[in-house]
Structure 1
Amino acid sequence: MLFSPVIYVIGWFLQMLGVAMFFPAAADWMAGNANWAVFAISGAGTYFAGASFVLATRGAPLDINLRQGFLLTTGSWVSVAVFGAVPFASSDLLPLTYTDAFFETMSGLTTTGSTVLTGLDDLPPGVLLWRGLLQWFGGIGIIVMAVAMFPLLKVGGMQLFRMESSDRSEKAMSSVKRYTAALVLSYVALSIVCATLLRLAGMPWFDAAVHAMTTLSTGGYSTSDASVGHWDSPFIHWIITAFMLLGALPFVVYIHMLRQGPASLFQDSQIRAFFSFLCIVVGVVTIWLWSSGGFTFERALRESAFNVVSIVTTTGYAVSDYSRWGAMPFGIFFMLIFVGGCTGSTGGGIKMFRFQVLWAAFRAYIWSRIYPHGVQALTYDGRPVSNDVVLGVLVFILIFLMTVMATSLILEGLGLDLVTALSGAATAVANVGPGLGDIIGPSGTFTSLPAAAKWVLAIAMLLGRLEFLAVLVLFSPGFWRR
């Protein structure tokens, strides 16, 4: 395998990461905090490392093949996490071990939202901004990969969404570049709108900017230990709920809306199924809270909508500790961890389109049992679905569940109780963030977990974010053979 193209691209990613570190350095410098030097030195070192990679492989061919695509997908995320953890590990204000720093960084880049930091309200602005930037970059990164890379790699049935990116012609590659530019512009524009609305609703500019980045990326890093519950404002809660939903929709649909109008939003069957599912679950939880007598209808609707959307979109924000709402909401929220948003979004989880394909395959199978000689076409959104796509979806879901089970068993072996181990594994693999229980629940953090558990969870986050096979294929001996 020719490694130079992979190293060359990773070098450019590291250079961009190094430049990004100067933003929190500037924020700390303007606030008069000495921690600015940590980000400045880390940024310079990261940029130098990236520039060294680029210069060492300059002139290498950039026509990346399938095997290099798998290696680049995993290598870029790991490299950025390794260097992105340096400011956390080097700061005297936190202080964090490199294990904690890597966990925090991987959680940010994968938009998981699990944290080991406490006392967020008193942390310097540079640290808070860096957490927000990590999630913001991770969100746009996974959108571009879901549109351009995953369909090519045929990961988890994503070949169903292959576009012109499967063509090597100059025209097709030019189209991919235009699509990518449009996706980035949509992402930036929605982030600006979200920050502006939060400021108008009463949130300070700095908090509004950070929450806009972590809301649209469905990451969930907040600037307060109480998360969004720190602001007792229905307007702020509803704004963040709306933008969590926008972040969990396919970003390609925003491009279509500009061309065809808002009506094109609901032409996608995945989006219709996603909204229908959310309405049912929010309705059930709202009725449960309202009938309990401790909530007004408006508060029951607002808190159920916020927390349900936060878990389904894998954001991980909280305005209250939903694990104390009773047995039925507790069970509902655990199941919601696995759902996820739509494909081509910043959300994690299994994703809605896979449930639709699975349901279509189930119906086709039942039809074939009733009518052995009949023909039942398997379609998704009006398009025929090949057996290869169905197999990819089934394999993805199987690996997803097996990874959750294996991670949970390892965490239990490391001394965690069943609820913490199982919910922690599920939230890491699904990139949700908070788990269930008193330790890692909505009101807790991952600080007290053993170092080995944090490394296991960080690996689980990466596996879930990169759709498993993009990482696991690297451990196959056949992958490295000529």
Structure 2
Amino acid sequence: MRFRYGSNIGKLMVLLGCLMYVPLVVILFQPDQLRYAYAYLIPASASVALGLIVLYFTTPDEDKPQNYRAVLARSSWVVLFIWIWGSLVGAAPFALGLHMTFLHALFESVSGWTTVGLSIIDVGATPQIFMFHRCFMQYCGGLGFVLIMILIISNRDSMNLYDAEGHPDKILPSIRRTAQAIFLVYNICLVVATVAYMLAGLSFFDGLYHAMCGLSTGGFTNKLGSVGDFQSVPVEVITVVLMLVGATNFATLLLFVQGKWRRAFKTTEVRFMLGSLVVVTAVVSADLAIEGGLGLVEGFRQGFFSCVTAMTTTGFSICDFTTWPPAAVGVLIVVMLVGGGFGSTAGGLKLRRAYIMLRVMVQDVRRRVLPSSRVAPMYFTTAQGRNKIDPALVSNTMSMFVMYILVYLIGAIGMCMTSGAPLEGCLFEFASAFSSAGVSVGITSASASNGTLIIEMIGMLLGRLEIVVVFVGFGATWEYLKQWRRQRSRRRL
């Protein structure tokens, strides 16, 4: 028996298995970690072997569906499958090596691949190889499995899978060259950031971990108090720059790297991000200084860093959010839900969608009070040029916004029911999981109920894959099962 449309799944399973071998590099630096090698060799080898089996029993070129809906369904199903498979394989080392329960190991894995950053392990007692594994998952998760696969193998399905995983921009004429450009810029930033951290006084592994997790806007750390443990302003400055880089659209980031700064700063998202950051930092810093009693300097320090980590959905922290005034926490919730740039490693609704909704709102008011001749068409600027805000774009944006808010409210209420925590805390915690922010007010822990952790994991996957891909993927799976049952019934007859 040979299966159809499984070649991409097989390739991605092999790729994932190869990525799982990478943490074994730590053994070269710390030979005592060799005793944990089996925790990676088993799941990595299993993923590679199963992927090769899928490839062997696949007929990739037969009966390719040509209509848009079939292509979208298949691409969404492939992306959804590999992210679920990646979560399972990524959980295996925690279960085998650290003897964590399956649910706790899965939570850590999902949080890693989706670049959320919420954690339930004791980082102070975790061996180095597992710390590297956590951070490496976030680094790869920021790029995405499909983009990494395209670096090695590209086919006629590559563009559909690339779009389905949440990469909207084709920077260069070839999809493979686009992936290579993103990968090159991503790794150059990693090297520069690691060196900068080491110059600021961090060890190699501390610098590497925070560079990987800052650039991927993931937020995992090997310190109990996150970035705040270093008590270093230079480290905080480097981290802020790194988070902003990670939250910038890859195409815009390439303009910066090419020296086209003026063109990069003309993009709508960069201007909107910087303008919004100034406003929310002023509000939060003032609230912390006055109501929180921190004073102007410390209020600005905590407010600015926290607003950046929330807007970029990174999750690093330098303070305890449970001591913050409610108004400041409320602002952070809104900032986390909006998130970073479209096509960046950041999560959230995305700055571009927030900007479009605000422009539509302003335009609607202008239509009501001004003559039609004075109401000009709306545009926004990307790295590729000027784009018109047409009715189709407005419809898609509003649809995504409604779905986003509904899922957020349902998830927050579900957490209230399973955790017993107050609504304010659950609104913050689920916003953190759903937007890939990763900051916590204490609800997420090893003692949290299974229901709470499951709801957060669902929120993480929905947020990383932007809801629609998950729904379409499950819908495609359901349709496939229905067709399989019909075929099976006909064979029996």
Q: TM-score range by the shorter chain?
A: 0.7 to 0.9
The alignment status of 1:97 with 2:125, answered yes or no, reads no
8 Å contact 2:169–2:343 — kept in the other structure?
Answer: no
8 Å contact 1:26–1:36 — kept in the other structure?
Answer: no
Which SS does the other structure have where 1:471 is aligned? helix
Q: 1:400 corresponds to which letter in structure 2?
A: Y
1:387-406, CA deviations, whole angstroms, 9 ceiling, x for partnerless residues?
11111111111111100111
Measure how far apart 1:20 and its partner are.
2.3
C-alpha distance in 1, partners of 2:294/2:160?
Answer: 46
- 1:73 matched to which residue of 2? 79
1:270-317, CA deviations, whole angstroms, 9 ceiling, x for partnerless residues?
110100111122233334444579656554433222111111111011
- 1:114 matched to which residue of 2? 118
8 Å contact 1:348–1:430 — kept in the other structure?
Answer: yes
Q: 1:82 corresponds to which letter in structure 2?
A: L
C-alpha distance in 2, partners of 1:309/1:142?
Answer: 26
- 1:280 matched to which residue of 2? 279
8 Å contact 1:367–1:376 — kept in the other structure?
Answer: no
Change (3 A) 1:128 1:163: closer
Q: 2:19 corresponds to which letter in structure 1?
A: A
Change (3 A) 1:419 1:435: farther
1:334-393, CA deviations, whole angstroms, 9 ceiling, x for partnerless residues?
222212001011000111111111012112222333357556423222421221111111
Unaligned runs of 5+ in 1: 166-171
- 2:132 matched to which residue of 1? 129
Change (3 A) 1:455 1:154: closer
Q: 2:400 corresponds to which letter in structure 1?
A: F
C-alpha distance in 1, partners of 2:212/2:285?
Answer: 28
Q: How is 1:16-27 mapped onto 2 (pairs within 5 angstroms)?
A: 16-27=15-26
The alignment status of 1:338 with 2:337, answered yes or no, reads yes
Q: How is 1:288-367 mapped onto 2 (pairs within 5 angstroms)?
A: 288-291=287-290, 295=294, 297-367=296-366
The alignment status of 1:464 with 2:463, answered yes or no, reads yes
Superposition TM-score, scaled by structure 2 size: 0.85
The alignment status of 1:380 with 2:380, answered yes or no, reads yes
8 Å contact 1:358–1:393 — kept in the other structure?
Answer: yes
C-alpha distance in 2, partners of 1:150/1:45?
Answer: 24
Superposition TM-score, scaled by structure 1 size: 0.87
- 2:141 matched to which residue of 1? 138
Count of aligned pairs between the two proteins: 458
Unaligned runs of 5+ in 2: 66-70, 149-157, 484-493
Change (3 A) 1:259 1:335: closer
Out of 365-374 and 416-425, give the one that drifted further. Answer: 365-374
C-alpha distance in 1, partners of 2:75/2:226?
Answer: 37
Change (3 A) 1:365 1:291: closer
8 Å contact 1:27–1:36 — kept in the other structure?
Answer: no
Q: 1:57 corresponds to which letter in structure 2?
A: T
- 1:399 matched to which residue of 2? 403
8 Å contact 2:107–2:457 — kept in the other structure?
Answer: yes
Which SS does the other structure have where 1:318 is aligned? coil
Measure how far apart 1:267 and its partner are.
1.4
Q: Percent identity over the alignment?
A: 25
C-alpha distance in 2, partners of 1:62/1:260?
Answer: 46
- 1:51 matched to which residue of 2? 52
Out of 409-418 and 357-366, give the one that drifted further. Answer: 409-418
8 Å contact 1:414–1:453 — kept in the other structure?
Answer: yes
8 Å contact 2:312–2:346 — kept in the other structure?
Answer: yes
C-alpha distance in 1, partners of 2:39/2:147?
Answer: 30
